[in-house]
C-alpha cells in the first residue's frame, strides 16, 4: 500500500468516527480512575476512547478531594469548575476559584507547572478540563509529573 493510500485510509477512519461515533457520552459509560494526578474520569481521550464523534478532543473530570498531583506541560488547557471551591497554583502563583469559574492555563515556552487544591476537603470539588489534541501535540514542550496525588498508590 502506498503512502497516499495510507493517508486516504487514515482520513476515512477519522471521517467514520465523526459520522458514526457517539454523540452522547453518559457518565456511566466511563469509569473513575485513580491516577498520579488524582481521581479522574476521561470522557474523551483520543488514544483510549475511540467510540465518539470528536476524535481530536480530550475532556476529563478531576474530583479534587484534597489536592491533585502537580505536573508540568505546555498549557493551552481550559478548566471549567463544576462544583466546589479551591485554588490552583500556576508556576508558584495562587489562583482561587469556585463553581462556575473558568481556569485558563496559558501556553508558555518551557511549560506551565500547576496543581489544584480543594478548600473544603470532604465536600465535592470537581472541574472539567478540555484540550484540543492536535493543538496540544503541535505545541508540546514537555510533560513531566512533579508530585503525585495522595490518592495514588504505586502499583509496582
Pick the residue with more confidence: 135 or 128?
128
As a whole number of Å, the CA-based R_g of the chain is 17
**The pLDDT of residue 44 is above 60:** yes
**The pLDDT of residue 156 is above 50:** no
Whether 126 contacts 62, CB under 8 Å: yes
pLDDT at 19: 87
pLDDT at 155: 53
Q: Report percent pLDDT > 90 for the chain.
A: 67
Question: Hey, what domains does the chain have and what are their CATH numbers?
Answer: 3-147 (2.60.120.10)
CB burial of residue 88 (10 Å; 0-12, 13-18, 19+): buried
Pick the residue with more confidence: 140 or 95?
95
pLDDT tens digits, one per residue of 73-129: 988 899 999 999 999 999 999 999 999 999 999 988 889 999 999 999 999 999 999
DSSP state of 151: T
Amino acid at each position: 500500500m502506498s503512502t497516499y493510500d495510507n493517508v486516504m485510509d487514515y482520513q476515512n477512519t477519522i471521517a467514520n468516527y465523526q459520522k458514526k461515533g457517539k454523540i452522547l457520552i453518559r457518565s456511566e459509560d466511563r469509569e473513575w480512575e485513580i491516577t498520579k494526578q488524582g481521581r479522574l474520569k476521561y470522557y474523551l481521550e483520543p488514544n483510549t476512547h475511540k467510540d465518539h464523534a470528536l476524535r481530536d478532543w480530550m475532556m476529563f473530570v478531576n474530583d479534587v478531594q484534597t489536592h491533585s498531583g502537580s505536573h508540568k506541560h505546555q498549557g493551552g488547557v481550559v478548566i471549567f469548575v463544576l462544583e466546589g471551591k479551591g485554588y490552583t497554583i500556576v508556576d508558584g502563583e495562587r489562583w482561587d476559584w469556585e463553581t462556575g469559574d473558568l481556569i485558563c492555563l496559558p501556553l508558555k515556552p518551557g511549560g506551565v507547572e500547576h496543581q489544584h487544591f480543594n478548600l473544603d476537603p470532604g465536600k465535592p470539588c470537581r472541574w472539567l478540563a478540555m484540550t484540543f489534541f492536535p493543538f496540544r501535540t503541535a505545541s508540546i514542550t514537555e510533560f513531566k509529573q512533579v508530585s503525585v496525588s495522595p490518592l495514588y498508590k504505586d502499583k509496582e
